[in-house]
Amino acid sequence: MIKPEAVAAGHSGKIIDMIIAAGFKIKAMKLTKLSKERAGEFYEVHKERPFYGELVAYMSGGPIVAMALEKDNAVADFRKFIGATDPAEAAEGTIRKRFAKSKGENAVHGSDSDENAAIEIAFHFADSEIVG
Ligand code: IDP
Ligand code: MG
């Protein structure tokens, strides 16, 4: 996902360009807005964390761009490509180093395992919205 503050700042096109240039193939993509309920469900794993309420408000606060991406070793490569959660710790050249504003408002989300990628792709897309 491209997160709300990055979409609002007009960074979507640049981020999509970088994703493609890094060798990821876009299999599905949509601009959408998550309700509080949907954002809460997406981040349910963080329910007990102190920042959960803030995270749900932020992620439902404006449009996001959701994508399903394909690449060999996609999950690990995408996490490396976006950089550390906190932009202060993100490596040079990463999406978060370039676009993140803070540890919370950090421009992009990337799935953390193949299993969660499958769950998160199904959260955003019907099978008919994913190209073969
Ligand atoms: P990740 O997005 O790099 O996988 P996670 O630890 O899974 O990082 O956290 C999910 C999201 O929750 C982060 O991307 C960020 O938006 C938010 N978040 C994480 N830690 C904090 C924090 O300490 N304060 C505020 N928001 C946070
Ligand atoms: Mg995570």
Q: Rounded distance, CA 116 to CA 124, Å?
A: 12
Q: Which ligand is nearest to the CA of 106?
A: 1
* Backbone Cα Rg of the chain: 14
- Centre of ligand 2 from the C-alpha of residue 116, in Å: 10
Catalytic, 11? Answer: no
What element of type H or E holds 16?
helix 12-21
> Is ligand 1 within 6 A of the CB of residue 112?
yes
* pLDDT digits (tens), the chain, 132 positions: 999 999 999 999 999 999 999 999 999 999 999 999 999 999 999 999 999 999 999 999 999 999 999 999 999 999 999 999 999 999 999 999 999 999 999 999 999 999 999 999 999 999 999 998
Q: What is the DSSP letter of 69?
A: E
Mapped onto helix, strand or coil, the DSSP state of residue 48 is: coil
Q: Delineate the domains of the chain, giving CATH numbers in brackets.
A: 4-129 (3.30.70.141)
In this structure, which residues have their CB less than 5 angstroms from ion ligand 2?
A: 112
Q: In this predicted structure, what is the pLDDT of residue 27?
A: 98
Q: In this predicted structure, what is the pLDDT of residue 11?
A: 98
- Closest to 63 (Cα-Cα) out of 3, 131, 18, 132: 3
Catalytic residue among 11, 46, 109, 124: 109
